[in-house]
Amino acid sequence: MEPGAERAKNRDRYLALRFPHAVTRAEQLRSTERVLGAARNYFDQAKHDRCMELLDVAIGECPSSLPYLLARIEYAYLMNNEEALRQAVSGVRSLDPPPDTWRRVVDLAGRMLDELRVAGHARGEAQDAPWPDMPNWIGVSMDLTGDAHAIEFHRDVRNALGGEAPR
Amino acid sequence: MSISSAHTSRSAEAGNLLARIDALTGSSADAFLALHDDTDRLVAGVEQPLFASELVWTDAELQAARWIHEVESAMGRAGLRLARSGEIGRPPRARSASIVALAMHYAGEAMKWATAVGARSAAPCATLNQAMSAAIGLGIAREPLELTIARQARRCSVESLYVRTLLLCRFAGGNITCRQLEILDALMWSWLPILHTVPGPAGQTLHVDVESSDGLRLGMADPDGRCMHLDRDALERAYDATLAEFQAGNIVPEGLTASFPMSDHIAALDVMRRGLRRWMQVPVARAPRLQVAGKDVELFRGLAAVAAAIARPRAPMLTIDVGDAPPALSGTRPHRDLVDAVYETPRHIVQLRDLSSSGIGVSVSAPALAGLTLNEIVALRLRDEGPLVLGKIARVLPAQDGRRVVGIRRLGGRAVLMKMDRIDGASAETWHLVHVPGAEASGRDDAYLVTESQLRSGATLRTEVGQRSYDLCLDRVRDRGPGWVLAGFGIRAVAARAKECA
């Protein structure tokens, strides 16, 4: 097998084992919906490393994809990971994003990164609120119906078992 | 060449080697260096085929692994004995440094093979520390060396091999297999230039006190500056670079481990990642274990058997009393109910050894172990009238009397079988899926045990629970193994359950 083909095969094997069901081939990294959905699932399951690694490989595949970089900024903020946040901000800056988008990046990242605050970038009004106005670049559903249904379902199954605790 | 033939053809030489190592005294440094050449050559010939074997080694393979462990332990002990004697104070410096470095190397090798053969030898941290302390005193700890190890010339130092062995001690526990440990070791060999100690950094560190009998410890830097600290930043950079190679499709490092399955590489990288990330966190204590006195229980293996066991009443109404055959003889027990009488369903009887909130240890006879694979889905009943406990095979270790100890990691809570109707129009099917509840009351950890094809189908399923009917889609993988997936799901719709006609 050609070295390039061997490498591509190894890469697909790695992706399929590392991100089962979410990504099985490198070309699937170009699907924003698929990648952001899978990253959200990993974050929901507290698999933070897996979430960030998926975004990293997706950014490696599509270096000029603003949605991936913005999602990385929001996850880095939620994980309180300054280093990842700094890298993602630098990546977004290099893409010369629209002014509104850049202002929101600074609003959010400036809460954690001194250099953005000190550099005198515009600070959004939300900055002074106890919780920032999250931009939702990670694509969280604002509809909480599914969460409510999941609680009901868990409770109904538990009741059907005679109220026995899951463990 | 097979393991047995490789081992048999060398058995005379191998037996002689052990006798020669045992005969070493505290002043036979040159003999030790000569023995290293023979040991390296003989061990390399035996160990490579062992890594190609599947989960359960044959008796010949186990015998070969035990021989390697014995030889390398003996070399490690002999080297450390020499390192603590006055012998290494004699010039030339490179010779002295080589002896201590080889002692460190063999102590690390013995640690790896102890994990492989299930030997529970204590980590030789006290003697390693004494040897390192002696090397520091003589000023040879960072002396650049070139040693032939695993038939390759390697650049190293006493300090780098000391750090490598301490890291192996730290990683050689839990569920790690010998292949995964070998991958970790291969990574550490490729990182040898950065395996050194640095002055106490700020924050949490992994450090060792060479004047103590302890290995690497996690905690804040010591105030009196006695400890040697690992270079965390360099190790994290090396880990990130390795991960980037895998993401690009390059299996690193090159060599024997490059041919190991990708799943072993990923597991080894996970162990390393957890070890490095833990630097930043408070360590988590292992769940306490409760020893159980060898109670016999039935082990259900595979998705179909697990689902059938959940569906089956706990106490079969129609039974044939055939008595209890000694499970140690056959590993299986004769059929006891009419269904088994017709279909000859084999029963796998295992002995409980210990329990914890996260896992179960059982002792299994060799015949019952046949065909068992890592990550296989299993279930067992801890109490006669209790619910089935789901788990996956996490580890297999040799034990006494030819039996094996199998570590089972628990999955979720009390599993139930649920009837699900497929309603997405693709086909009118009814599935019976194992529902595995999570501990979270929000339901975020609930899952179903399904096959790969069921998950891939993207089916919308309807089930009725209590007074409601739920439509759900299996849409994420929480865990998986051969022939099964623990799939998370999203609820698409809820409706009041239709009332049945009178």
| DSSP string covering B339-365 | HHHHH---EEEEEEEEE-SSEEEEEE-
pLDDT at B333: 43
What does the pLDDT average to over B389-411? 84
B263 and A17: CB-CB below 8 Å? yes
Question: Among A52, A129, A110, A50, which Cα is nearest to B476's?
Answer: A50
Q: What is the pLDDT of residues B204-252, one digit of tens each?
A: 778 888 888 888 887 766 667 778 888 888 888 999 999 999 999 999 9
Residue B253 has pLDDT above 70, yes or no: yes
What would the two tokens of residue B97 be?
């440094």
What does the pLDDT average to over B459-482? 90
Question: Which residues from chain A sit within 8 angstroms of residue B439, using beta carbons?
Answer: 166-167
Residue B39 has pLDDT above 80, yes or no: yes
pTM: predicted TM-score of the whole model, two decimal places? 0.74
B249 and A154: CB-CB below 8 Å? no
CB B405 within 8 A of CB B118: yes
A153 and B465: CB-CB below 8 Å? yes
ipTM associated with this complex: 0.81
What would the two tokens of residue B412 be?
């979720």
Of the candidates A45, A150, A161, the beta carbon closest to that of B414 is on A161
Nearest residue in chain B measured CA to CA from A57:
B247
* Dihedral of alpha carbons B168, B254, A47, B387, sign: negative
Residue A131 has pLDDT above 70, yes or no: no
Report chain A residues touching chain B, CB-CB < 8 A: 6-14, 17-18, 20-22, 38, 41, 44-45, 49, 53, 56-57, 60, 146-147, 149-161, 164-167
Of the candidates B248, B465, B475, the beta carbon closest to that of A11 is on B248
Instruction: In whole angstroms, give the CA distance from residue B144 to residue B341.
Output: 70
* Cα B140 → chain centroid: 35
Strand partners, B407: B361, B395
What does the pLDDT average to over B60-78? 89
Question: Among B296, B297, B291, B307, which Cα is nearest to B355's?
Answer: B291
pLDDT at A13: 95
- DSSP-derived secondary structure letter, B30: H
Residue A123 has pLDDT above 90, yes or no: no
pLDDT at B343: 55
Most confident of A26-40, A79-93, B32-46, B390-404: A26-40
User: Three-state SS for B301?
Assistant: strand
A153 and B263: CB-CB below 8 Å? no
Higher pLDDT, B286 or B269: B269
Residue B276 has pLDDT above 70, yes or no: yes
What would the two tokens of residue B34 be?
């000569």
Query: Could you count the other beta carbons within 10 Å of the beta carbon of residue B73?
Result: 21
Q: Please check whether residue B462 touches A, CB under 8 A.
A: no
What does the pLDDT average to over A123-150? 72
Query: Could you count the other beta carbons within 10 Å of the beta carbon of residue B153?
Result: 8
* Dihedral of alpha carbons B443, B444, B446, B447, sign: positive
CB B313 within 8 A of CB B392: no
A4: left (phi over 0), alpha (psi -120 to 50) or beta: alpha
pLDDT interval class at A68 (50, 70, 90): very high
Higher pLDDT, B314 or B356: B356
Q: Which of B247, B385, B417, B451 to mutate to test the interface with A (most CBs of A within 10 A)?
A: B247
User: Three-state SS for B382?
Assistant: coil
* Dihedral of alpha carbons B131, B137, B138, B142, sign: positive
Residue B336 has pLDDT above 80, yes or no: no
Q: Please check whether residue B243 touches A, CB under 8 A.
A: yes
Q: What is the pLDDT of residues B44-55, one digit of tens each?
A: 888 888 887 665
By CB atoms closer than 10 A (0-12, 13-18, 19+), residue A77 is buried
Task: Measure B273 CA to nearest chain A CA, in Å.
Answer: 9
Higher pLDDT, B273 or B124: B273
pLDDT at B223: 63
Residue B132 has pLDDT above 80, yes or no: yes
Of the candidates A44, A53, A152, the beta carbon closest to that of B494 is on A152
